[in-house]
Amino acid sequence: MTKQLSPELFRVIDANLNRLKEGIRVIEDIMRYRDNNKELASKLKQLRHKARIETQVQLLQNRDSINDVLRQTTKSELNRTDIKSILTANFKRAQESSRVLEELYKLEDATNSEIFKYIRYELYNLEKEILLNEK
């Protein structure tokens, strides 16, 4: 993977890969530590580990988080009223990021594109299972 992806697109991939893994990790930790749910925490951990790509050096070389034009926190990001709202926000964050990665990898690597599509659909299923059972 190098031909079609510019440094700017590597930045997009880097940000979305981080966002995807961070969103999954928040949900995973709630299932693991709050709910002691080994099955769901393990499924989430497996998804997080699927979100690995071989171009880590290129991602780091093109990372520019200091100059991110939307780095500042928006008010909606601070609005969490309960665990369900945290779970919902992190499911949406992870799903949206996996969609971005799925689309960008269509330019260069269909295998990675399919992996991120798989992750996205698994997140839809887990979202339904977890949020419908949330207290």
pLDDT score for 61: 61
In a domain, 111, yes or no: yes
In a domain, 73, yes or no: no
Mean pLDDT of the chain: 86
Residue pLDDT, tens place only, 17-61 = 999 999 999 999 999 999 999 999 999 999 999 988 766 666 666
pTM attached to this predicted model: 0.83
pLDDT score for 6: 73
In a domain, 54, yes or no: yes
In a domain, 83, yes or no: yes
In a domain, 104, yes or no: yes
| 35 Rama class: left (phi>0) / alpha (psi -120 to 50) / beta | alpha
> Please, which pLDDT band fits residue 131 given cuts at 50, 70 and 90?
very high
- Residue 101 φ then ψ, to 5°: -65, -40
In a domain, 71, yes or no: no
Q: Which of the pair, 37 or 62, is modelled with greater confidence?
A: 37
- What total of structural domains would you count in the chain? 1
pLDDT score for 10: 81
Structure tokens at 116: 């991120």
Burial zone of 110 (CB within 10 Å; 0-12 exposed, 13-18 middle, 19+ buried): exposed
> Please, which pLDDT band fits residue 2 given cuts at 50, 70 and 90?
very low
In a domain, 69, yes or no: no
